[in-house]
Structure 1
Amino acid sequence: MKIVDLHQDLAYSNQMGRDVIEEEQKQSSIKMLRNFDSLIFGSIFPHIDTLNDKSHKLSNLYGRPTRGTSFSFSLFLDQVKFYYYLDRRGYITLVRRKEDLEKPGIKVLLSLEGADVLRDYEDIYLLKELHVYNLGLTWNYDNKFASSCMSNKDYGLTDEGEELVKTANSLGIIIDLAHAGKRTLLDVASISKRPIIVSHGNARKLKDHRRNLDDEEIEAIVKTNGVIGVTAIVETLREPTINGLVENIKYIGESFGWEYVAIGTDFLGIQKVPEGFENVMKLRELSDMLDGHSEEVLWKNAMRVILKHFET
């Protein structure tokens, strides 16, 4: 069975001391992923947990104690090195070029969650050299490039952010609007020459949550021929079960087109999981619930977007 998961926190989970190679009882691991022909967006989340006013604000957003963070370039490097370690040891194939996407087994495409560690837009050339091919503009905080979903003043894309998006387009790096503010998403959709994605997010029509996308945002992504990764974050689901994920998938597929919906579990980055969707092995059950659209949702749609960015 082929799967693309647009967001897993393998490196961050490893830094927290968890076994992401052989573990079988948690949300995901290399051992579990061996059951699939898989492409995983391996998140780089170079944030240090802190207790501060920001964490209090996030706790109110998610309805539970939630980490606040500061950002560390050294953690960025450590997490990149972890994925390269997995590649050297033969656990995964790190995606460096288009041909790697066709290799059997577990493939990992590096994905930076939040551009906060970048000093300016030209740092994206370093990401390209490190084979980081997916770039989230924000996490839950505003930065010099764009406003986040948590912004009290959704100022959208800054001048520096516009240069970042244009340079990413020229380098074939995917722009990811998970965690972005609405104006940021609409601004990016209006200038991007390549498809954009939301790697892990759900529909606000079904659950009014600041991490979710309203219909105007979904339509903007569709117009770029992009894709939305429906996610397992229980706070963003109307029903915190596998049926809640299916509800989001069908809403996007039936309302906007089945070619624009994918999966971005956020496994290893979430504390709670939906009932019936406790780990990646449950993708088999999810597949059976998609009324003949499983190959599109679990593989083809995301691959279409990825391949578009490898075009010269």
Structure 2
Amino acid sequence: MNLIDLHQDLAFSSQRQDVIHGSGQSSVDMLSSLGNAMVFSVVFPHIYTENERAEELSRNYGFRTQSSAPLVQVAMEQFKFYYYLERTGRVRIVRNVEDTSSCGLLFLISMEGTDVLTDPYDLDLYYNLGLRNLGITWNYDTKFGSSCMSKVDYGLTGYGTELVERCNSLGIIVDLAHASKRTVLDTCSVTGRPVICSHANAASVHRHVRNLDDEEIEAIVDTGGVIGITAITSTLGPSASMDDMVKHAEYIGNNFGWEHVAIGSDFLGIEKTPSGFEDVTKYGKLRERLGTHADQVMWSNALRVITENLRS
């Protein structure tokens, strides 16, 4: 099977469970059994904390969440975990376009949020560490842009514009998952390369703070980008099943073009999974449900965006 998954929390989860040999939502061994798979392997540079902000997020958005504190050392430990996997021959880290044609299990290192960046030129350091995908925000605002959970949607800041331009220059994919509407629209107007929203669904199918409305989808599409249909149950709808994932894919594909649909499971970053899509062994079933669009959604669309960003 050829597969690209735009979002899995392997390094962060490795602190709590076996993501090499384990049999949970995902693991290196499970992914290796699939054939040719490329996974956007996330660096989540945070430690969870319980405080008033966590209570507010839970109260306002109807699901239990936590606040967090960003730490550079946490980011470094997660980079080191991916290097360990590469040194031991378990994965190959994608650093350039040529790497994308390799067979087996590939990891493209992604960072969720910009909290550990002091300024846009810190990206040069992280690029040299192997970073190739960057999410502008997580569940709260940064100096670069506002989050979908922001009280005031101020969009992309001046620093944020510089950040996007630096990503384009270096060859780092810009990821709009968790971004506010204004941040999405501003980023799409600034970028010179296709962007992604690695793990979100369509607000017209199910209203949720993490889902994209039609204007946001159109803006991402206009850059040539893709949206990763996700397994986050609260974003799917009441039944939270694989059928719902297909509904979101069909909505975006039929209304905006199937060349802009991809997969971003968020495996290992979610507590609950959709019915019928409990772990990475279910990709085959999802492929069947996607029918003639399966190769596009699960491989070629994302590969196009990756190669257009990583080229020099």
Counterpart residue number, 2:257 = 257
1:87-108 CA-partner distances (Å, limit 9, x unpaired): 0001100112222111111100
Amino acid at match of 1:203: A
Aligned length: 310
Counterpart residue number, 2:286 = 286
Q: Is the 8 A contact 2:246 2:290 kept in 1?
A: yes
CA offset at residue 299 of structure 1? Answer: 0.2
Give the SS at the match of 2:108: strand
Query: Is 2:292 the counterpart of 1:301?
Result: no
- Partner Cα distance (2:214, 2:95) in 1: 34
Counterpart residue number, 1:13 = 13
Counterpart residue number, 1:27 = 25
Counterpart residue number, 1:190 = 189
Q: Is the 8 A contact 1:200 1:228 kept in 2?
A: yes
Cα 1:32–1:62, aligned 2, differ >3 Å: closer, same or farther? Answer: farther
Give the SS at the match of 1:235: helix
1:241-271 CA-partner distances (Å, limit 9, x unpaired): 0101001011111110000000000000000
CA offset at residue 62 of structure 1? Answer: 4.7
CA offset at residue 65 of structure 1? Answer: 2.3
Counterpart residue number, 2:271 = 271
Please provide the CA RMSD for this pair.
Answer: 0.9
- Partner Cα distance (2:166, 2:68) in 1: 27
Note the residue ranges of structure 2 that are not aligned, 5 or more in a row: none
Counterpart residue number, 1:125 = 124
Counterpart residue number, 2:41 = 42
Identity %: 52
Amino acid at match of 1:198: C
Note the residue ranges of structure 1 that are not aligned, 5 or more in a row: none
Query: For 1:120-269, what aligned pairs fall within 5 Å after superposition?
Result: 120-238=119-237, 239-269=239-269
Cα 1:61–1:229, aligned 2, differ >3 Å: closer, same or farther? Answer: farther
- Partner Cα distance (1:73, 1:310) in 2: 25
1:142-187 CA-partner distances (Å, limit 9, x unpaired): 0100000001100001111110001111111100000000000000
> Scaled by the length of structure 2, what TM-score is found?
0.98
Q: Is the 8 A contact 2:140 2:149 kept in 1?
A: yes
CA offset at residue 68 of structure 1? Answer: 1.3
1:60-107 CA-partner distances (Å, limit 9, x unpaired): 355332121011000000000000000000110011222211111110
- Partner Cα distance (1:27, 1:57) in 2: 29
- Partner Cα distance (1:311, 1:250) in 2: 30
Amino acid at match of 2:157: T
Amino acid at match of 1:229: G
1:19-51 CA-partner distances (Å, limit 9, x unpaired): 001112x10001110122100000000111100
Amino acid at match of 2:244: G
> Scaled by the length of structure 1, what TM-score is found?
0.98
Cα 1:119–1:174, aligned 2, differ >3 Å: closer, same or farther? Answer: same
Give the SS at the match of 1:135: strand
Q: Is the 8 A contact 2:7 2:264 kept in 1?
A: yes
- Partner Cα distance (2:113, 2:173) in 1: 13
